[in-house]
């Protein structure tokens, strides 16, 4: 009985979960400060910056939308680009859904926190209970750090010269770091090249932000046949 109880306890502990979750939270904290600064410098207010981080909670989409607005793009281009970038979270949702059973309200709440980091932390665990705990611990850490960082950045935003301190390259750097691991296959590389060519070719003719949307659509279209082929095989 004691051995069984000990084994069950070992299966639901937080060893190897809390530390990495806090490390991930601190890592996004730096980017969150950058986002808050950039949002305010792009013409946003502290409440608007906080609303984006509290409700959207997808760093790449937030940086994309703010970058488009800051460059003079339309709100439609900013929103569409952000939605396309955020669409990858739907795939993450499919991956973690089996480990987060519950009511519709529970799943809707979990969807808000289904991002790169929570998905990664969930999938590397070795038991259903640890997967569930890893998801929520990581979600709490990153959500807290992200929103505190956004608040700090937004409050000091007007006193920061984004170009002087290099914060204007925060989103491109983060985006490259996010995209690079996804280019492991030849199909993904060709899709990326195709999207880049379309973006460069349409930049002189389309409104600011629209080329990004066009390139994302081209890349997604290029990847769909590969996904269908893998499902059929």
For residue 229, pLDDT beyond 70:
no
Predicted local distance difference test score (pLDDT) of residue 90: 84
Contact 67, 173 (CB under 8 A): no
Query: What is the Cα–Cα distance from 194 to 161, expressed in whole angstroms?
Result: 35
What is the pLDDT confidence band of residue 159, given thresholds at 50, 70 and 90?
confident
The string of pLDDT tens digits covering residues 50-81 is: 999 999 998 888 988 888 888 887 888 888 87
Query: What is the Cα–Cα distance from 42 to 71, expressed in whole angstroms?
Result: 8
Contact 49, 169 (CB under 8 A): no
What are the residue ranges spanned by the domains of the chain? 15-171, 183-233
pLDDT > 90 in the chain, percent? 24
Higher pLDDT, 110 or 159: 110
For residue 38, pLDDT beyond 60:
yes
Closest by Cα among 85, 144, 147 to 116: 85
What is the pLDDT confidence band of residue 123, given thresholds at 50, 70 and 90?
confident
For residue 143, pLDDT beyond 90:
yes
Q: Tokens in use for 132? A: 């569930």
For residue 232, pLDDT beyond 70:
no
The string of pLDDT tens digits covering residues 78-112 is: 888 788 778 778 888 888 999 998 899 999 999 99
Angle at 112 between CA 19 and CA 32, to 5 degrees: 60
Model-wide pTM > 0.75: no
């Amino acid at each position: 009985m004691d051995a069984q109880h000990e084994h069950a306890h070992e299966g639901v502990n937080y060893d190897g979960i809390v530390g990495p979750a806090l490390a991930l939270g601190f890592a996004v904290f730096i980017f969150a400060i950058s986002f808050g600064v950039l949002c305010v410098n792009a013409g946003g207010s502290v409440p608007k910056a906080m609303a984006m981080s509290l409700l959207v909670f997808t760093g790449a989409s937030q940086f994309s939308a703010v970058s488009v607005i800051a460059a003079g793009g339309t709100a439609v281009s900013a929103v569409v680009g952000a939605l396309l970038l955020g669409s990858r979270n739907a795939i993450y949702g499919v991956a973690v859904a089996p480990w987060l059973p519950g009511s519709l309200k529970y799943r809707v709440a979990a969807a808000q926190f289904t991002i790169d980091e929570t998905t990664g932390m969930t999938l590397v665990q070795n038991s259903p209970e640890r997967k569930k705990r890893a998801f929520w611990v990581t979600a709490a850490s990153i959500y807290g750090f992200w929103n505190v960082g956004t608040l700090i950045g937004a409050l000091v935003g007007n006193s920061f010269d984004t170009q002087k301190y290099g914060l204007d390259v925060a989103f491109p750097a983060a985006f490259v770091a996010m995209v690079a691991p996804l280019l492991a296959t030849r199909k993904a590389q060709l899709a990326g090249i195709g999207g880049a060519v379309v973006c460069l070719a349409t930049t002189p003719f389309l409104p600011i932000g629209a080329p990004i949307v066009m390139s994302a659509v081209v890349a997604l279209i290029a990847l769909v046949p590969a996904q269908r082929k893998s499902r059929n095989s």
